[in-house]
Amino acid sequence: MKNILVPIEMHSTVDSVLQTALVLARKFGSYIEGTPLGPDLPDLVAFDMPVSWTINDQNSWKELAEEAHRKFDTTMSAAGIGGKSPDGSGPSQAWSGDHSLGDSQVASLARVFDITVLGRPGSERGDPRMATAEAALFESGRPIMLAPPKTPASFGDTIVISWNQSTETARATAFAMPLLKKAKKVIVLTVENFVVDGPTGAQLAEMLARHGVAVEAVSHPGGKSSGEDILDQTEKLGGDLLIKGAYTQSRLRQMIFGGATAHILAKAKMPVFMAN
């Protein structure tokens, strides 16, 4: 987790996103790169719009990018995080770009970072956009960390892996290994009614133990929806970070019927580490 990408958009939880990135950077002595985020202009406006309207809109995006830059610099300065260190030791930071990148552009950039920190998507005006999280999940090939509306001062001491035996969760667990090795306690949680064919939670725990991870496996019979059960059990187990694979069901099925990923994206109160 030595390289952290933090796309900055002035949404309702931008402070939480930045604080989440800082917690990670202090834990691993990481480099944080901030970049301005916004939907691509062609996605929002017609191709044959009036020229004057185009210029005004481009100026607005530039102003938003400058505001994002100021927010990033102010937060890093207050946290005492300076520029790039010559030897890469200790937390460091830098700003990249003078115009907003679209969601797919951010996802492309994320391919050369260990993790991207984003706000947990919400349904209210001004909340982080779902499109950003989905682009990062599907197009980057890397994991994301979703910051809740209020970030705790620290996280990662007690990590819960939501193990449904799937390929996606296996990939998320592998990406999260640096965090798992630093945790005081790791719990492999299996909600029994919501699994696919694959190795059991006990088998995963055995593998993690051979990496020196302090781990135990826990099973829960389930009863509500899978997403509710996962979040309820994570809180009861004292988890301060949840690791989950994204979209084990098809994305279309999740859109129509909902699912664990959709519920967790909407309701999680702790940071969520995800990969697809």
CA distance 33 to 72: 10
3-class state of residue 203 by DSSP? helix
Q: How confident is the model at residue 207 (pLDDT cuts 50, 70, 90)?
A: very high
Question: Which CATH code, of 3.40.50.620, 3.40.50.300, 3.10.20.30, 1.10.150.20, is assigned to 3-147?
Answer: 3.40.50.620
pLDDT at 53: 36
Q: 228 CB contacts (<8 Å, ≥6 apart)?
A: 263
Residue 86, pLDDT above cutoff 80: no
| Residues, the chain | 276
**Burial class (CB within 10 angstroms; exposed 0-12, middle 13-18, buried 19+) of 202:** middle
pTM: predicted TM-score of the whole model, two decimal places: 0.90
pLDDT at 84: 74
Exposure of 78 in the CB half-sphere (CA atoms within 13 A): 10
3-class state of residue 70 by DSSP? helix
CA distance 152 to 90: 21
CATH number for the region 158-275 comes to 3.40.50.620
Domain residue ranges of the chain, discontinuous segments joined by + = 3-147, 158-275
Q: Do β-strands 92-95 and 272-275 pair in parallel, antiparallel, or remain unpaired?
A: unpaired
CA distance 50 to 230: 50
Mean pLDDT on 135-139: 92
Q: What is the pLDDT of residues 87-134, one digit of tens each?
A: 667 899 999 987 889 999 999 999 999 999 999 998 788 899 988 998
Comparing 3-147 with 158-275, is the CATH topology the same? yes
pLDDT at 60: 74
